[in-house]
A and B are shown apart, each in its own frame.
Chain A
Amino acid sequence: MAARKTYDEINQKIKEGNAVVVTADEVIDIVAEKGVREAAKYVDVVTTATFGPMCSTGAFMNFGHADPPIRMTNVLLNNVPAYAGLAAVDAYIGATEASLDKGINYGGAHVICDLVDGKSIRLSASSPGTDCYPRKNIETWINLDDVNEAYLYNPRNAYQNYSAATNTSDRPLYTYMGILKPGMGNVHYCTSGQLNPLLNDPHYRTIGIGTRIFLAGAQGFVSWMGTQFSSGRKRNAKGLPDAPGGTLAVSGDLRSMTTEFLKPAVFKDYGISMFVGIGVPIPILDEEVMSCVSVSDKDIFTTIEDYSVKRRDKPSLGTVSYEELRSGIITLQGRKIPTAPITSLHKSRQIAELLKQEIEKGEFEITKPVQSFPLNKTLKSLEVKSKEGR
Chain B
Amino acid sequence: MKTKWLLTFPPELTGEPVTYTLIKNFNLKINILKASIDLNVSGNLLVLADGNKNEIDSALAWLGNTGVIVHPGDSQIVWNDALCVHCGACTAICPTKALSLDPSSWMVAFEGEKCLECGHCVPACPIGAISNNNGLHHA
Q: Is the CB of B85 within 8 A of A340?
A: no
Q: Could you show 13 A-B contacts with beta carbons less than 8 Å apart?
A: A51-B87, A186-B92, A187-B92, A263-B127, A275-B85, A275-B127, A340-B88, A340-B89, A342-B88, A344-B86, A344-B88, A346-B86, A347-B85
Provide the bound-state CA to CA distance between A164 and B90, in Å. Answer: 16
Tell me the B106-132 residues at the A interface (CB within 8 Å): 106-107, 120, 123-124, 126-128
Residues of B within 8 A of A362 (CB): none
Given contacts A179-B123, A268-B123, contact A263 B88 (CB under 8 A): no
User: Which A residues are within 8 Å of any B CB, using their own CB?
Assistant: 51-53, 174, 178-179, 181, 185-188, 263-268, 273, 275, 326, 328, 338-347, 349
Interface residues on B, range: 20 to 34
Residues of B within 8 A of A340 (CB): 88-93, 101
Residues of A within 8 A of B120 (CB): 179
Query: Smallest Cβ distance from A157 to chain B, in angstroms?
Result: 16
Query: Smallest Cβ distance from A59 to chain B, in angstroms?
Result: 20
User: Which B residues are within 8 Å of any A CB, using their own CB?
Assistant: 85-93, 101, 103, 105-107, 120, 123-124, 126-128
Query: Smallest Cβ distance from A140 to chain B, in angstroms?
Result: 29
Q: Is the CB of A346 within 8 A of B106?
A: yes
Residues of B within 8 A of A346 (CB): 85-86, 105-107
Provide the bound-state CA to CA distance between A190 and B89, in Å. Answer: 10
Query: Smallest Cβ distance from B83 to chain A, in angstroms?
Result: 9
Interface SS of A by simple majority: strand
Contact of A186 among B93, B127, B128 (CB under 8 A): B93
Q: Is the CB of B85 within 8 A of A263?
A: yes
Provide the bound-state CA to CA distance between A266 and B126, in Å. Answer: 5
Among B89, B93, B105, B127, find the residue whose CB has the most chain A CB atoms closer than 10 A.
B89
Provide the bound-state CA to CA distance between A346 and B93, in Å. Answer: 19
Given contacts A188-B92, A340-B91, A340-B101, contact A178 B124 (CB under 8 A): yes
Question: Nearest residue in A to B83 (C-beta to C-beta)?
Answer: A263
Provide the bound-state CA to CA distance between A185 and B124, in Å. Answer: 14
Residues of A within 8 A of B128 (CB): 266
Query: Smallest Cβ distance from A116 to chain B, in angstroms?
Result: 15
Known A275-B127, A341-B87, A341-B101; further 20 A-B contacts with Cβ < 8 A: A51-B87, A53-B126, A178-B124, A179-B93, A179-B124, A181-B93, A185-B92, A186-B92, A265-B127, A266-B126, A268-B124, A273-B126, A275-B85, A275-B87, A343-B87, A344-B85, A344-B88, A345-B88, A345-B106, A346-B107
Query: Smallest Cβ distance from B139 to chain A, in angstroms?
Result: 10
Query: Smallest Cβ distance from A277 to chain B, in angstroms?
Result: 9
Provide the bound-state CA to CA distance between A188 and B89, in Å. Answer: 8
